[in-house]
Structure 1
Amino acid sequence: MDAALPRLRELLLQLLMGASITGLAYFFYRWYTVRMKFRRLKAMGLPMMPHSMLWGHLGKLFELAINPKGLPDDMAINYMQWHLVRDWKRHFPDEEHCPHVIYMDWWPLSVSYVLVTDPAVASQYMQHPSAPKIIADKNFVYPFTRNLDLISMDGDEWKEWRARANPCFSARNILAQLPEIIEEMQIFVGLIKDRAGKNGAWGDIFQLEELALNLTFDIVCRTTVGASFGAQVTPKGSQWGMREAFEDVSQLFIFDVNMFSVWSYISPIRNYRLWRGRRIADRTLMPFIERQAKLARGEEPSPHKTIIETALKHDKRSAQPPKLVGRHLETVLAQLKGFIFAGHDTTATSLCWAIHALQKHPEALEKMRAEHDAVFGPDPRMAVQRLHQDPALINSLPYTTGVVKETLRLYPSVVTSRKGSKDLNLVNVPGYEGLSFPTEGMMLWDGAQAIQMREDLWPRAAEFVPERWSAPAGDPLYPPKDGLHTFSAGPRSCIAKDLAMTEMKLGLVMLSREVDFTEPWDEWDRQQGRMSEDTKGAVVREYEGDRLYQVRTPTVPRLKDGVPVKVRLRQ
């Protein structure tokens, strides 16, 4: 036995050395093949940023996203798109204009990217055809949904579930749900008014984003399972519930698993927290699934369609609904979790951005208030009653709709990624019409942030101009075709975009005439210990003169410091 131990140690050492040598060999092989691919693209005459055989474009990534000069180091990576396009001459010194297809070699930190900043070119993989999701997108939500959700499904399975879910987000069904959305919005408005001072004075500072996240979470739960989970009224931390479970799990998602993130991916603590979050979500959702299954068997009509209802809908050719076991049950649970996860972050942050934009542009706020007076009457308290009587009035607000769309144009929350392939080459690229841009082995990154800020597409692109969304065709302000990419485009565009628009419009209708907002950043900094009363030169982070900006998170970019605000009641 004693003689065998040295031999065993020697064998293990040999195995370790063999594995190390194999790993290093593969690393250098990948390094060489990836770098040479970009060299070949350059040799084909395709536009390329200065490329290092050793580092690829990692220097640009560090310069533009990880440690940008003069910009906050915690800003979301999406801002990189706009800075790359705006300063194109520095990044493409050999080009006569900014390329609309930009190759980026970020290996080994991430996959190779193709950034597309032209809507017509983007339509070649988002609409005609609609390219499949990249593996990183699938890995992103796999720990929570096992890729049985509409976000990461592909092919016929995706088509079937998209067709099932579409009726839930039709204009008619959204209007049918408006009373329930109003009910949640009244709680939200009440919580905000409670934070106002007395006799028209400003109240104490609070973080608006957290209240907005609780609001949109409860609304999407209404849409999904037909019930609110009370995130707005249950103090956070009082019990481990659905809202907290989703928040915790969302912090554990990893977009791209590579050699630098593999330990985080396999971490026992991370996987335990993911298991716990899934368990809480599944246990909470199961009673709603079982109840809906009983209702479906009894053919009991419901006032409007919910995701859980359509998820349990069975093929008309089948006499009985499928049993709630195995893959079918897993898929139903995954669809519910996917909709809840995707349906609240973006809408909450966009509502906060709209409030922020209207503070910066009081003339737009007054125009919007005047529209609300004209449609609902001068008494703000009558808006809810009028909407209950005629829900379609929410779609009779062209200027408010313009405010929402302009907010989404200037402050997009997410961008779309698709999988390149051998058969997908981008053609008819402006300025490079005779060239074909290969996409095999790359991630197609939709450049929403850049597309929506291009001056050649959007006159006065950096300005907040809600009027552009009601401009007639032929007017210089008229929006370009497929120019708004906030909700993506094509068959895989955001299924709940009309619901999100309705939530935001309703929020502005119920808030804008009731309260005033202000963002007291100096006072907030003092509360956070960033500066004292007598400090003049405090070190603070801001993006192009604005204290509010998107910060990096594992999921949807959140807003700096949760949007600290004060409110006062309007007289």
Structure 2
Amino acid sequence: MIPHSFLFGHLVAIAKIHIKHKIPPDVNGHWIFRHLELEYPELVRKGIIYVDVWPIGFPMVATYHPDIMAQFIQENSLPKFWALSQVEFKPFTGGKDLVTIDGNEWKQARAMFNPGFSARNLLSLVPDMVEEVLVFQGRLRQAATSGEVVKLEDYTTDITIDIIGRAVLGTRLKTQTQPSRLMSTMKSQLSLIFLELDLKKLLNPLRPFRNWIYNRIIRNELAPYIINTAQNYEKIEGAKTVVALALKSYVNETPDYSDRGNVPPEFIERAINHIKIFMFAGHDTTATVLAHAYYLLSQHPDKATKLRAEHDEVLGPDPSAAADLIRADPTLLNMMPYTLAVLRETLRLFPPAGGSVRQSPPGHFLTHPETGVRYPTHGLMIHSSVVTLLRDPTYWPDADSFIPERFMVRDENDPLYPVRNTYRPFEMGPRNCIGQELVSVEIRLILALTVREFEVEDAYPQGAPLWMGTKAYQITNPEVVATAHIKDGLPVRIKSRKQGS
């Protein structure tokens, strides 16, 4: 255990690390685990660190070894930490969403939504997604023409919202061109969530009332999609959305069309809770990953050149023809291994979530795979410090560098070949992220339709803080839920590229 204060736990030691390493105050909290590793390497070599950050957070066991993480996430998937459902997401979904529920309830929900998030189904939805990316293209062209500095994360947020609207609900939310009542309300409600102690939010006497209002508005917005899909299931032509496939079992059990409009209220409430978490996670995390991908490509023109060459090879030399080609054959996205490698390397360097948090049962131990030492965990939150593992030079050569090629390696003896259990930005095991294939499809699609026409040039001020070698580091935005976002929304100038340049 690191030096401990009777009154302040490990907060004093963590404060000293912040001062010593000159960590900017807005850096996302999940990076503190990496600095604990730098400050106390002899402890991290044991595979875990006990961390007491009460009252800011819950006492925990932070794990650093990939095979120790596998013990409670893959080999024995422990329940999610109780505070997720009972405290943090309770006002948002009642703690009844796919992220927080456990046991048979989770298994039934996962089985209900798995078909909609399958790779095959998502590819069938690509033609609809293309329509939204063309709007994104238009916005980038306008920004390039004006020459103004824009916050790229605002743009990537809007496009990812519109794509998930098509994939989940089968509707055009048009967030890129006009205000959306559904998403503006959801963003307002998300701003009330806090994953670490936030007295301003905790003590706000209006917070319960605002949550009640927001939940009512969102229900009124989403319920018609569910009811309409149930009533008109057979009339849906072509690809089925996530909601449509989730309703398949209900439709099959209700062959009488006249009864389908009477969807049980409890079913609607349950579906809305899941949809809300999909809408949140599906845009919030993907938007910042996409912004970081553009930033990393701008900082590594050699990698951008390789990416564009792949798109020329798969889609032909004319970027303007790419959209129609992908519409006609969405499987072309599967023929872009370097594009996928760029995404995977971006996620390795800048994962939006710091790791999973699980609940330890009585008598539970974690065992170091090499030493055999057993560590007690009962009464503590168990945390997989994924953000630290993904930059650990023990497993990742040149760990802080942007090297998409490491995900192109097929020889297991190659030093760049990813070590088993180490690549986990979507986590692993049965409770891995259900939306990871959607992230993969939409980011490959967006990059394929934009990187040959545009490039970005960061426009951070001259004296902007530099941390971990970049001005575009991950921050905690107090106005939104505490997933990691890109610093200042990534101010950039959009540049149009001449064809062939």
TM over 0.5, yes or no?
yes
Q: What is the deviation of 1:60? A: 2.5
Q: Report whether the alignment pairs 1:304 with 2:239.
A: yes
Distance 2:254 2:447 in 1: 47
Q: Report whether the alignment pairs 1:566 with 2:490.
A: no
Q: Report whether the alignment pairs 1:552 with 2:465.
A: no
Q: Following superposition of structure 1 onto structure 2, how do residues 316-331 of structure 1 map, counting pairs within 5 Å?
A: 318=253, 323-331=262-270
Q: What is the deviation of 1:267? A: 3.0
Distance 1:118 1:110 in 2: 22
Corresponding residue for 1:351? 290
Distance 2:27 2:350 in 1: 13
8 Å Cα contact 1:115-1:444 kept in structure 2: yes
Corresponding residue for 2:169? 225
Corresponding residue for 2:217? 280
Corresponding residue for 1:50? 3
Residues 463, 411 of structure 1: alpha-carbon distance in 2 compared, 3 angstrom cutoff:
same
Corresponding residue for 1:168? 116
Corresponding residue for 1:122? 69
Which of 552-561 and 457-466 deviates more?
552-561
Q: Following superposition of structure 1 onto structure 2, how do residues 127-276 of structure 1 map, counting pairs within 5 Å?
A: 127-138=74-85, 139-197=87-145, 203-234=147-178, 236=179, 241-255=181-195, 261=199, 264-265=201-202, 267-276=204-213
Q: Report whether the alignment pairs 1:314 with 2:261.
A: no
Corresponding residue for 1:449? 387
Residues 206, 301 of structure 1: alpha-carbon distance in 2 compared, 3 angstrom cutoff:
closer
Distance 1:175 1:380 in 2: 20
Deviations 1:223-265 (A, max 9, x none): 211112111110x4xxx711211111111002257xx74x843
Corresponding residue for 1:73? 25
8 Å Cα contact 1:167-1:305 kept in structure 2: no
For normalisation by structure 2, the TM-score amounts to 0.92
Paired residue secondary structure (1:127):
helix
8 Å Cα contact 1:71-1:541 kept in structure 2: no
Q: Unpaired runs of 5+ in structure 2?
A: none
Q: Which amino acid aligns with 1:309?
A: A
Identity rate, percent: 33
Q: What is the deviation of 1:294? A: 0.8
Distance 1:437 1:228 in 2: 51
Distance 1:60 1:552 in 2: 21
Residues 218, 474 of structure 1: alpha-carbon distance in 2 compared, 3 angstrom cutoff:
same
Q: What is the deviation of 1:557? A: 1.6
Q: Report whether the alignment pairs 1:399 with 2:338.
A: yes
Corresponding residue for 1:338? 277
Q: Which amino acid aligns with 1:80?
A: I
Distance 1:302 1:421 in 2: 48
Distance 2:120 2:452 in 1: 27
Which of 204-213 and 241-250 deviates more?
241-250
Q: Unpaired runs of 5+ in structure 1?
A: 1-47, 526-537
Distance 2:209 2:431 in 1: 32
Residues 157, 505 of structure 1: alpha-carbon distance in 2 compared, 3 angstrom cutoff:
same
Q: Following superposition of structure 1 onto structure 2, how do residues 458-537 of structure 1 map, counting pairs within 5 Å?
A: 458-472=396-410, 473-522=412-461
Corresponding residue for 2:39? 87
Residues 161, 180 of structure 1: alpha-carbon distance in 2 compared, 3 angstrom cutoff:
same
8 Å Cα contact 1:307-1:336 kept in structure 2: no
Q: What is the deviation of 1:382? A: 1.5
Distance 1:549 1:333 in 2: 34
* RMSD between aligned residues: 2.1
Q: Which amino acid aligns with 1:281?
A: I
Corresponding residue for 2:324? 385
Q: Which amino acid aligns with 1:88?
A: Y
Paired residue secondary structure (1:231):
coil
Distance 2:285 2:415 in 1: 30
8 Å Cα contact 2:393-2:399 kept in structure 1: yes
8 Å Cα contact 1:189-1:511 kept in structure 2: yes
Q: Which amino acid aligns with 1:277?
A: Y
Number of matched pairs? 488
Q: What is the deviation of 1:301? A: 4.6
**Of 526, 541, 544, which aligns to 2:465?**
541
8 Å Cα contact 1:101-1:429 kept in structure 2: no
Distance 2:267 2:145 in 1: 52
Distance 1:547 1:68 in 2: 19
For normalisation by structure 1, the TM-score amounts to 0.81
Q: What is the deviation of 1:370? A: 0.8
Deviations 1:362-399 (A, max 9, x none): 11011111111111111111211211221101011111
Deviations 1:428-479 (A, max 9, x none): 344xx23211111111111111111111111111111111111122211111
Deviations 1:527-565 (A, max 9, x none): xxxxxxxxxxx5x42213421111113332221111100
Q: Report whether the alignment pairs 1:367 with 2:306.
A: yes
